[in-house]
Amino acid sequence: MNYFITGTDTDVGKTYVTRLLLESLKREGRIAAGYKPFCCGSRQDTIELLEASSSQLGLTLDEINPQWFKAPASPFAAGLLENRPTDLDAAVAGFAQLQARCENILVEGAGGWEVPLTADATIADLAQKLALPVIVVVNNKLGALNHTLLTVRAIAARGLRCAGIILNQVADERDPASISHRHILELHAPDVPVLAEIMHGETHLVWPPEL
């Protein structure tokens, strides 16, 4: 059971949601791991994924996150700044190595769906190479509908299945516009289920039955 986790933008809570999903899988008795092939800036996200992965796997931080760039930028830009280019093939190989040890892997992208990885490839190309169903994490606020529908349709254009949308309330206070988002998305993207609505600070998520 492997999924690719993308977002409508950066700072939408991809790691937060991925961690909740991993913990849900573990409560069901499954061995699960997070994988973030590209990380830029703070490595805290990958530390959290390592902590949320099943301890019996004995994974290291470099196995969870093989390519880390210190600059808080897109992987392509960060690689240029450090004179150390990203390696898309190595990212795919890292997933294959992890897959040999674990049946349930959640792969977290970097930023949004079309964030550049190289001069001619983006996160979408990575997802396409892995050929995994995609879960879209959305910062549930005013403006989210446009970003969500664009992302869902871009996933379909790549020939990939969008397994669902998770609406995540990042801000302390709920944006009034967010109240209707689930209903509107169900009308405009009827083939893509809204898997969950996560309130700010929520720490427990049941693995969505639609998955």
Burial 126-144 (b: 16+ CB within 10 A, else e): bbbebebbbbbbbbbbeeb
Residue 12: Cβ within 10 Å count: 25
Placement of tokens 């450090």 in the chain: 82
Using alpha carbons, select from 112, 134, 140, 136 the residue that is nearest to residue 197. 140
Q: Is 36 a catalytic residue?
A: yes
Phi, psi (deg, nearest 5) at residue 6: -120, 175
Q: Considering 26, 36, 129, 141, which one is annotated as catalytic? A: 36
Catalytic residue numbers, as ranges: 36
